[in-house]
Structure 1
């Protein structure tokens, strides 16, 4: 099935990277048709949208592509489509403008009239069974049917200050989910966060069926993370008090996803920071399974590439500006 994923434009690269990583980790065969600003069009098995709906952080909608048209030729294209095979129950037409300008209301009325004439289906603007979704990109339309709208309710409810245990400086659930996805894990895999803090990364992984393990040197964080995981109904977890550099696990993990504490200002970042990251990488290598992956955030002033030895390679790297004095660098690191 040819489908279109309408992406968040909160970051120029992360949404598309997250989507591709989920497809690969789930073993889904796909071919990329277009990778554009705010959208991806791909060919994949028809059940793919159900998996994507449950995993993606930086996406808004998943749609089935049924046609392509110029802006001026959309009604002519619509006349040629077998709408009876697509419209189930009531319907509505809502244009999505990514780039470009058209009179959306006029076109929606015109397309609605064509579809109603061809199918006899009832128009329901409030709660349609089928949503026809023409997506405008510059001077052309991608004609689609919406398969799923990705709810943001979870990301709002799971904001750090709304959890039973809160501590300032926690990562947003959306970025935490994205980092878990970039690590390429799937349900049943084992994931470690050795600087778990309040457990935000573990929550997002656990909700996807990943077996999670967390560690923190601070007992308050250990107890708080346990409380937060239980609050979200996650039962397959282990959280222990341990210094990340001393952590030794039996059996190893498939991925390490973490956001080490910054704790040291950019002006004093030096030997102490380098020592922390070097020790973390040594511990990470000993705890990862063969072909294990690290997805980690670090402040821009840490030269992580200078600390990575020949046991690792940086596969992906993304910059995310947090505020005037801090940019987070998200890296996906593979063992060699």
Structure 2
């Protein structure tokens, strides 16, 4: 059994990102306690869990209990797979209902009694305890270091545009499409979504109507070591002309939100409708689209008119003048 700790800023989106990756890896979510997910998955699922954007970490779940005493009793029966030295670290979630103040010391003593050495400053293995409605203990396998994502934020890129999704969110959009080979962003801007997709080993296709964006996106992709890409100057509402005969496995995009945003002279909502039609025309049957729209636009209704099926919708308030939904659609 595994566990995944998801981030709390977009929890429903984070859970569905995990679900999408487990569908690719042959696993499933079997329980949830606040931001703690219990996962039943084979080892081959690690390859897909390693892609996660909206997660803090994942690991091997070894003990689950209703009380501190039960956790310690069960822990004595576990053959702890410690490599080198270890440390016990407790995560007290917002719904924690147990007194875990002294638990790291007590659990550490149990594991130490099996012959494992403690190192509180630089442990080789981190034992993680989560306190929610229940108690959980396991071994961390992968930590998603926030610094890795911070290095790819807009102001760190060689071609800088301030309006850009956080790399974690871009990564999640890519994963929600369940792309395994390729991904198209028809309104790529500075290429933030394409960077994340390219770093996952996908071939990336990008389109923008502004020459400086095409040049800048290529600069950014090269900067982060993405080599398998195809970028085009063109109109996102005419994708069939840009990619004749091509059907895409997956599409993810973050279109402009401003009320004055235009493309080829269209008003914003007209642009969104035209782009949705264009994406539908080049997406493979069963392919997925992950996209963001302001709440004032009925993304679900407009997409379903075209034949898309809505798989997910996630609300985010960015600031007082921008509230949006992230959508996942399937053709």
TM-score, scaled relative to structure 1: 0.90
For residues 209-246 of structure 1, give each alpha carbon's deviation from its aligned partner in whole angstroms, at most 9, with x where no partner exists: 11111111111101000100000111110111101112
Structure 2 partner of 1:71: 67
Distance across 1 between alignment mates of 2:105 and 2:302 = 60
Structure 1 partner of 2:129: 134
SS at match of 2:179: coil
Shift of 1:160: 0.3
Distance across 2 between alignment mates of 1:31 and 1:170 = 32
Mapping for residues 28-39 of structure 1, pairs under 5 Å: 28-39=25-36
Shift of 1:290: 2.3
| CA separation of 1:116 and 1:166: change in aligned 2, threshold 3 A | same
SS at match of 2:19: helix
Q: Structure 1: any 5+ residue segments left out of the alignment?
A: none
| CA separation of 1:92 and 1:185: change in aligned 2, threshold 3 A | same
Structure 1 partner of 2:154: 160
Shift of 1:164: 0.3
Structure 2 partner of 1:273: 268
Distance across 1 between alignment mates of 2:28 and 2:258 = 43
Distance across 1 between alignment mates of 2:320 and 2:52 = 28
Distance across 2 between alignment mates of 1:247 and 1:231 = 27
Q: Does 1:109 align with 2:108?
A: no
Shift of 1:185: 0.5
Find runs of 4+ consecutive structure 1 residues off by over 6 angstroms: none
Shift of 1:321: 0.8
Shift of 1:284: 1.0
Q: Does 1:286 align with 2:301?
A: no
Mapping for residues 217-236 of structure 1, pairs under 5 Å: 217-236=209-228
Mapping for residues 173-192 of structure 1, pairs under 5 Å: 173-186=167-180, 189-192=181-184
Structure 2 partner of 1:17: 16
Shift of 1:306: 3.7
CA RMSD of aligned residues (A): 1.9
TM-score, scaled relative to structure 2: 0.91
Mapping for residues 20-99 of structure 1, pairs under 5 Å: 20-24=19-23, 26=24, 28-53=25-50, 55-73=51-69, 74-83=71-80, 86-98=81-93, 99=95
SS at match of 2:155: helix
| CA separation of 1:305 and 1:142: change in aligned 2, threshold 3 A | closer
Distance across 2 between alignment mates of 1:292 and 1:125 = 47
Shift of 1:125: 1.0
Q: Structure 2: any 5+ residue segments left out of the alignment?
A: none
| CA separation of 1:47 and 1:254: change in aligned 2, threshold 3 A | closer
Structure 2 partner of 1:324: 320
Q: Does 1:254 align with 2:267?
A: no
Q: Does 1:206 align with 2:198?
A: yes
For residues 57-107 of structure 1, give each alpha carbon's deviation from its aligned partner in whole angstroms, at most 9, with x where no partner exists: 111111211122233313222223234xx2232121112212326554522
* Contact 1:260–1:298 (CA under 8 A) maintained in structure 2: yes
Distance across 1 between alignment mates of 2:107 and 2:307 = 58
User: Among residues 294, 299, 302, which one is paired with 2:297 in the alignment?
Assistant: 302
SS at match of 2:326: strand
SS at match of 2:188: coil
Distance across 1 between alignment mates of 2:39 and 2:324 = 30
Which range moved further: 39-48 or 209-218?
A: 39-48
* Contact 2:22–2:41 (CA under 8 A) maintained in structure 1: no
| CA separation of 1:285 and 1:102: change in aligned 2, threshold 3 A | closer
SS at match of 1:277: helix
SS at match of 1:283: helix
